[in-house]
Amino acid sequence: MKDEILNSLALLMRNLRELIGDLDDAQMVQQPPGVPNHPAWTVGHIVYSFQAIGEDMRLEPWLPADWPSMFKTGTAPAAEASAYPAKQELLDRLADGERRVRERLSALDDAELNGPFPTEQYRDIFPTLGHALLHVLVGHTAAHLGQLAVWRRAMGLPPTTMII
């Protein structure tokens, strides 16, 4: 299952970079009516989710202390570019988070993947670490990429050639 998750994650990261590749910093925070999340929040949130699942894989937190206040679940996107890191920093943090998660996932053995999810309050949803990894790295990330595709359409931008 590790190889499948890693492959899907790589495809999703390629799609994400394509979805925001032609945007400038100002576009990253534009929010058309009816679209809840803009690209700056979405990318930051995905990076934050990498750290959250990374902690479940026993990685030490690596993001700045203010990252959760901007990007954890339940935060609301702000319309000001100054409220977020610049696009390049978001992309750099994305690459760093992806690298950390990929390396740690590659090192996990079957016993760790099939062992109980470390955060007890979520075990009814994610009985094992493997269940959580599949959902967070693939399902959750894919859902947010779908939001970015909708955002592009609402902004009148051309579609990308995402790999589905």
Domain ranges of the chain: 2-154
State the Cα–Cα distance between residues 31 and 27, nearest whole angstrom.
9
CATH no., domain 2-154 = 1.20.120.450
- Predicted confidence at residue 116, as pLDDT, reads 96
pLDDT attached to residue 164:
63
Sequence-separated (6 or more) residues with CB below 8 Å from residue 92: none
Q: Which of 42, 66, 69, 59 is nearest to 141 (CA)?
A: 42
Residues of the chain with pLDDT under 70: 163-164
**Residue 95 confidence (pLDDT):** 98
Report which DSSP code applies to 140.
I
Residue 12: what pLDDT?
97
pLDDT tens figures, 27-73:
999 999 999 899 999 999 999 999 999 999 999 999 999 999 999 99
Return the DSSP state at 143: H
Tokens matching residue 21: 């590749």
Non-local CB neighbours of 33 within 8 Å, separated by 6+ positions: 154
